[in-house]
Amino acid sequence: MIADEIKELMHSEPFRPVKIVLGNQQSFIVTHTDYLMVSPDRQTVVLYDKQGQFKIINAQQIKLAEPVKGSLSKAA
DSSP result, 42-76? SSEEEEE-TTS-EEEEEGGGEEEEEE--S---SB-
Q: What domains are there in the chain, each with its CATH number? A: 2-67 (2.30.30.100)
Cβ atoms < 10 Å from Cβ of 30? 24
- What per-residue confidence (pLDDT) applies to 49? 87
Nearest-angstrom CA–CA distance, 76 and 29: 5
Q: What is the pLDDT of residues 25-61, one digit of tens each?
A: 999 999 999 999 999 999 999 999 888 899 999 999 9
The residue-averaged pLDDT of 9-20 equals 94
Residues 6+ apart with CB under 8 A from 23: 61, 62, 63
